[in-house]
Amino acid sequence: MKYTYFPGCSLEAGSIGYNMSTLAVSDTLGIELKELEDWNCCGATAYTSITDIQAFAICARNLALAEKEGRDIVAPCSACYTTMRKTNTYLRTYPEVKEKVGKALAAAGLSYGGGIRVVHLAEILTDGNGTMKALGEKVKVKLAGLKVACYHGCQIVRPGGGFDDPEFPTALDRLMTALGAEPVPFPMTARCCGGSMIVSRREIALHHLYKILRCAADSGAQCIVTACPLCHLTLDAYQGMVNRKFGTHYRIPIMYFPQLIGIALGFKPKELGIEKNIIGSKNLLGPYSK
């Protein structure tokens, strides 16, 4: 399988571990990822808050560049995935958006015919084309006994029509089961972490984070697995602040799902960027990564 890879701004900064583990894992699973040349930021949810046609247009630049390569885009970041997929859908559904975005692209000598799909990394691993089976066969270290809370976050399965149920997605649970790990019941799986407010309204975001951490801890999870750079940043880097605010003592490691896949495939934690997580996971992963 060949895809154009769209890492996004987070994966070259705060979520570098997601990038490292994605590349390591996809290589082993025979998924060829070629980074999109000179990609620009998708604008996430912030750009559309100020203007809409411009926000669609900057996403369309990436889609137009990818169309030249002729491969579908795979984005590990939930926000990049949702924003670009939404742009793609709106370009197809609303002729007035298509016309305006087309004119904006033409100003830079680009055009987009709508022939590119935007997919998520978790989607290509779970969409029933045999990748899951191949993954199961390649597992070297079964993650037996590891209790994980699979946290999908909000963007990846919404707005509707994504690759999984918008309220109770199970893609990560299925992946973790294939690795031999044990997903715990986790009703908060598709709740928003409040990440977009972590800078501007921190007190509110911390409250949402507390609920998610408490839910995971009460379900007996030893770690939280996530598919979103922002969920990871908030749960990992702000866990200390949650503890101070709510008088709790959580030290729950937060992992990107390809990091755990990588462990099961026999990679060292260092190769997957796991030591870059703020909450350490040496004791947890020790038995699996000798």
Would you tell me which residues interact with other proteins (CB under 8 A)? Answer: 9, 12-17, 38-41, 43-54, 56-58, 60-61, 90, 93-94, 96-97, 100-101, 103-110, 154-155, 158-160, 166-167, 191-192, 194-197, 199-201, 204, 208, 237-238, 241, 275-278
Task: Report how far residue 101's alpha carbon sits from residue 98's, in angstroms, rounded to the nearest whole number.
Answer: 5
Task: Report how far residue 28's alpha carbon sits from residue 23's, in angstroms, rounded to the nearest whole number.
Answer: 9
- Least separation in angstroms between residue 142's CB and other proteins is 29
Task: Say how many Å lie between the first and final Cα of the chain, rounded.
Answer: 31
Q: Which is nearer to other proteins, 53 or 134 (CB)?
A: 53
Q: Which is nearer to other proteins, 104 or 141 (CB)?
A: 104
Task: Report how far residue 124's alpha carbon sits from residue 26's, in angstroms, rounded to the nearest whole number.
Answer: 10
- Least separation in angstroms between residue 156's CB and other proteins is 11
Q: Which is nearer to other proteins, 57 or 124 (CB)?
A: 57
Q: Which is nearer to other proteins, 96 or 137 (CB)?
A: 96
- Least separation in angstroms between residue 130's CB and other proteins is 29
Task: Report how far residue 255's alpha carbon sits from residue 235's, in angstroms, rounded to the nearest whole number.
Answer: 10
- Least separation in angstroms between residue 179's CB and other proteins is 25
- Least separation in angstroms between residue 264's CB and other proteins is 24
Number of H helices, E strands in the chain: 13, 8
- Least separation in angstroms between residue 243's CB and other proteins is 13
C-beta of residue 3 within 8 angstroms of C-beta of residue 34: yes
Q: Which amino acid is at 162?
A: G
Nearest to 30 by CA among 135, 108, 175: 135
Q: Which is nearer to other proteins, 147 or 245 (CB)?
A: 245
Instruction: Tell me which H or E stretch contains 5.
Output: strand 2-5
Q: Which is nearer to other proteins, 87 or 131 (CB)?
A: 87
Q: Which amino acid is at 280?
A: G
